[in-house]
Structure 1
């Protein structure tokens, strides 16, 4: 069975991801600044009464030099962690802790994470929400299928980066 994470805000860098019971699972926060800043991704405790949120990762956004991730106690330059690939270099691939390679495939209003072994097994799928003008209102949602549930943290971390870049590319293309 898939794990469905619903967004409280449409922005991938300023939202809370909630589970099917409407409980917060991840908090993603980026201060609003004129220049690029840092996105902090925290994991919410399952036992809400006793534990505190646990910082999972930070993304230090840079314009002049490579963006950096702080993940699992390591500082990783984006080019060493997520590599651009595919037609027009729009896809983002990475090697997960399980040693397998995965790839985020961006679309106009969605993204899929696939196992990059030729099988194209879908591991996670994101669908952007809508405000409900021409169809029923729907919140953005990240679904993680059984094949990806052993690595939900890295899926969320890489998703935040890839989705923000997808939106920046889309917005730049639409503004001319």
Structure 2
């Protein structure tokens, strides 16, 4: 299952299926010192012939500037430093990811890759659950919009995957922006 994003910013985007059906909408109004992302999910229309999309509130991610971030999802207020467990340090001096326990009692890990995050089972072989693909202009590979790919093993918790992805990708991009750029010395 793939969700194509309308922008390169998963926290400010419309997520559509391969056939163009809008499923999720994320919005993050620009405000100084306040960064809240609202995540909405499509609600099926009950009236035959009504083609208007209606959305229902799914979650909210409060990206903390001076305090820990919070995720409001499923009637719970989840403090991210308690919901996610940080992984061990990698040989490059970066955290290997953020772990959380899913609704099925299984532990999952968002790997914060250099360019994209990937959700895996926290097992010995890193079984893939979801993967983000950046957009491509079609130079080295076929052109495509950015998309979040959810493998069959994760389809039972797609809403949670989208919510945690929005948080993780923002975190990953902020960490990427803070990393020193290589090359170009004197």
- Alignment TM-score, normalising by the size of structure 2: 0.85
Residue of structure 2 in register with 1:83 after alignment: 85
Can you list the C-alpha shifts for 1:37-70, whole angstroms capped at 9, x where unaligned? 2101111124364773111110112121111111
CA distance in structure 1 between the partners assigned to 2:20 and 2:61 by the alignment? 26
Give the C-alpha shift of residue 134 in structure 1.
Answer: 6.0
Residue of structure 1 in register with 2:73 after alignment: 71
Give the C-alpha shift of residue 173 in structure 1.
Answer: 1.1
Give the C-alpha shift of residue 90 in structure 1.
Answer: 4.3
CA distance in structure 1 between the partners assigned to 2:180 and 2:149 by the alignment? 27
How many residue pairs are counted as aligned between the two chains? 174
Give the unaligned 5+ runs of structure 1. none
CA distance in structure 2 between the partners assigned to 1:109 and 1:138 by the alignment? 16
Larger mean CA deviation between 66-75 and 102-111 belongs to 102-111
Asked if 1:95 corresponds to 2:101, the answer is yes
CA RMSD of the aligned region, Å? Answer: 2.0
Give the unaligned 5+ runs of structure 2. none
- Alignment TM-score, normalising by the size of structure 1: 0.89
Residue of structure 2 in register with 1:118 after alignment: 124
Q: Does the 8 A contact of 1:114 with 1:123 survive in 2?
A: yes
